[in-house]
Amino acid sequence: MALATLKDVLAKREDARAVGAFSTYDLFSAQGVIQGAEKENLPVIVMMGAPVLAKPGNEYIAKNLVSLAEEAKVPVVVFLDHAKDYATCLKAMKLGFSAVMIDGSHFSLEENIHLTAKVVETAQHLGISVEGELGALAGLEDGEEVKNSKMTDPTKVRQFVENTGIDALAVSIGNAHGLYKGEPNLNFDTLRQCEQASPIPLVLHGGTGLTQEQFALAVQCGIKKINIGTEIKKSYIEAFVATQGQNPAAYDLIGIPQACKEAVSGVAAEKLRFFAADWAKFIN
């Protein structure tokens, strides 16, 4: 019985630590993430992207996530990532998710507020947390490309949070989805201004490819949730290919998924530990 909400797991403002949020795609990636969290005895956020949930039959994976969370030894948030509309959020809420992200960042500020507030109204009745996004991230989100990225405007943060009632806010400060082209360049001044303006925890998307120093500075500046997607996929696929390559004639569909699970577990454990405490070693 460990299904938790964002409110349950995200640290308070004065408590400088972040919780890892990891994209999952099937039973094995989800089990790997939760196993990593149990190994570290830390709370975790297991995410399913809206484009993943939209695939035929994948609502059964969603139901698996909820069951796994309920039986986990640590608090687990089951989180819908980057829903673009109300109906997708409602679908996830009905499936038992404990948190949803409504991403209205492609709309005008007014439209974003309107859509996000509508999701919050429903979610609050059900005790479900909501994450919103202000500014837009570059890159691919589970196969969907964002064409026009824009930085979060710190002067709009308080208005957005107060008019929507969200529990957490994703910011755009130079971070991007997928693999970075060249060195990622984060604007920590903008992040500090957003943090000053925001009465709720801030979220950093696009964690794959950031340096340990950048993660550390982000946590020091007040980031409370860090999303990791690509690194989960990379570890899973690399383990799959390597294990298959060891004995190609075996087509070992019993052993290969277990190897993938272990690889994902290792990534999740290392990141969770870093975001919770180890980051401080990288602050000069």
| From 29-37, 53-61, 200-208, 217-225, span contacting Zn ion (CB under 5 A) | 200-208
Nearest Cα residue to 59 out of 110, 107, 97: 97
User: Shortest gap between Cβ of 177 and Zn ion (angstroms)?
Assistant: 6
Element of type H or E holding 22? strand 19-23
Output the smallest distance, CB 227 to Zn ion, in A: 5
3-state SS, residue 74: coil
81: annotated active-site residue: yes
Nearer to Zn ion, 38 or 131 (CB): 131
For the window 150-189, what string marks contact with Zn ion as x by the rule CB under 5 A? Answer: ----------------------------------------
**One of 15, 81, 103, 252 is an active-site residue; which one?**
81
Helix, strand, or coil (residue 252): coil
For residue 144, the minimal CB distance to Zn ion (Å) is 10
Burial label for 96, CB within 10 Å (0-12, 13-18, 19+), is: middle
CA distance 148 to 127: 33
For Zn ion, the closer of residues 207 and 222 by Cβ is 207
Stretch that binds Zn ion, among 66-74, 109-117, 202-210, 241-249 (CB under 5 A): 202-210
Q: Count residues near Zn ion (CB under 5 A).
A: 1
List the beta strands (DSSP E) in 65-180.
Answer: 76-83, 99-102, 129-134, 139-141, 144-146, 168-171
Which residues pair with residue 44 across a beta bridge? 76
Q: Which is nearer to Zn ion, 133 or 195 (CB)?
A: 133
CA distance 92 to 192: 32
Q: Which is nearer to Zn ion, 205 or 261 (CB)?
A: 205
The CB-of-253 to Zn ion minimum distance in angstroms stands at 31
> Could you tell me which of 43, 124, 122, 133 has the C-alpha nearest to residue 88?
122
Q: What is the rounded CA–CA span in Å between residue 225 and residue 230?
A: 16
Minimum Å distance from CB 103 to Zn ion?
A: 8
- Residue number with CB closer to Zn ion (138 or 263): 138
Segment near Zn ion (CB under 5 A); pick from 7-15, 192-200, 203-211, 249-257: 203-211
Which one of the spans 56-64, 197-205, 245-253, 261-269 is the region binding Zn ion (CB under 5 A)? 197-205
Q: Which member of 52, 89, 98, 205 binds Zn ion (CB under 5 A)? A: 205
Q: What angle do CA 138, 142, 148 make, to 5 degrees?
A: 20
Q: Which residues sit at the interface with Zn ion, rule CB under 5 A?
A: 205
Catalytic residues: 81
